[in-house]
């Protein structure tokens, strides 16, 4: 049997990039993101067959056109990893930036829906597939100033459960991976490029790495056909909840 095909959104950095590097050993990959140059450079470093799709997940037309443009031999996607997502700002609800709100809802919720809608119908037709939604501990808990970001990830949690119910009769697995603190570009984006402020988020304890989450995704995908990991919370040992982190004295 030929290698399965996995499509990964947000593959230009962080968890998406680490997952692409790991899965390229055993899957034909479709790596997606906005930064085409990064995708092309990543493609050169990966083993096996790789297709690049560059689009903005917020642009519905671009999402559908890009996925529809895949060569016929790449259109039967076996694994969808909805990884693209961002946090923008960390503000009290009454001080929040509405452009930040739009970005989080458009990327984290609507973008996930657009990509899923473009891919799930062929999984239903074939009665096979695995959808992995990368959510967050923020989809399970709410923390101060996390309001809209937490709301977007709670929506991902609800959508994952809804997908699992609606697709139950079609042999399609649906998984949510909910990471805690992972050291990636996440905080730099949240703090609008303030790298010093972003670094402080990960100081005085050992956070997860993107590779830690990628290895978890690989584990989930490798369960036997009769087994699905529905929801998986993964935390650094120093983290107990969204607000409790065991930071050591400097």
Q: Where are the domains of the chain?
A: 5-234
pLDDT digits (tens, 9 = 90+) for 52-111: 999 999 999 999 999 999 999 999 999 999 999 999 989 999 999 999 999 999 999 999
Could you tell me which residues are beta bridge partners of residue 51? 30
Locate 193 and state its tokens.
């490029």
The one catalytic residue among 27, 149, 202, 205: 149
What is d(CA 202, CA 184) in angstroms, rounded to the nearest whole number? 10
Annotate 5-64 with DSSP letters as a single string.
Answer: EEEESSTTSHHHHHHHHHHTTTSEEEEEES-HHHHHHHHHHS-S-EEEEE--TT-HHHHH
Question: In a 3-state reduction of DSSP, which class is residue 225?
Answer: coil
CATH code: domain 5-234 is 3.40.50.720
Window from 1-10, 95-104, 132-141 with minimum mean pLDDT: 1-10
Whether 149 is catalytic = yes
pLDDT tens-digit series, residues 24-38: 999 999 999 999 999
- On whether the CB atoms of residues 66 and 48 are closer than 8 A, the answer is no
Cα separations in angstroms, 215 against 2, 86, 220: 23, 21, 9
CB atoms near residue 77 (< 10 Å)? 22
């Amino acid at each position: 049997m030929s290698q399965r095909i996995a499509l990964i959104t947000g593959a230009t950095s962080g968890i998406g990039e680490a997952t692409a590097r790991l899965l390229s050993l055993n899957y034909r990959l479709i790596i997606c993101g906005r930064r085409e140059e990064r995708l092309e450079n990543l493609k050169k470093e990966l083993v096996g067959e790789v297709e690049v799709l560059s689009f903005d997940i917020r642009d519905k037309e671009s999402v559908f056109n890009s996925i529809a443009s895949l060569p016929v031999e790449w259109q039967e996607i076996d694994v969808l990893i909805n990884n693209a997502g961002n946090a923008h700002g960390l503000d009290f609800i009454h001080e929040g930036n509405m452009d930040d709100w739009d970005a989080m809802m458009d990327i984290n919720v609507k973008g996930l829906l657009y990509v899923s809608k473009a891919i799930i119908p062929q999984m239903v037709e074939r009665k096979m597939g695995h959808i992995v939604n990368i959510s967050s501990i923020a989809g399970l808990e709410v923390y101060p100033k996390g309001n809209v970001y937490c709301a977007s990830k709670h929506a991902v949690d609800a959508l994952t459960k809804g997908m699992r119910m609606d697709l139950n009769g079609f042999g399609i697995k649906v998984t949510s991976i909910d990471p805690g603190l992972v050291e990636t570009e996440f905080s730099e984006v949240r703090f609008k490029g303030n790298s010093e402020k972003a670094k402080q988020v990960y100081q005085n304890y050992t956070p997860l790495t993107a590779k830690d989450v990628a290895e978890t995704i690989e584990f989930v995908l490798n369960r036997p056909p009769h087994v699905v990991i529905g929801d998986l919370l993964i935390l650094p040992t120093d983290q107990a909840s969204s607000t409790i982190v065991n930071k050591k004295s400097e």
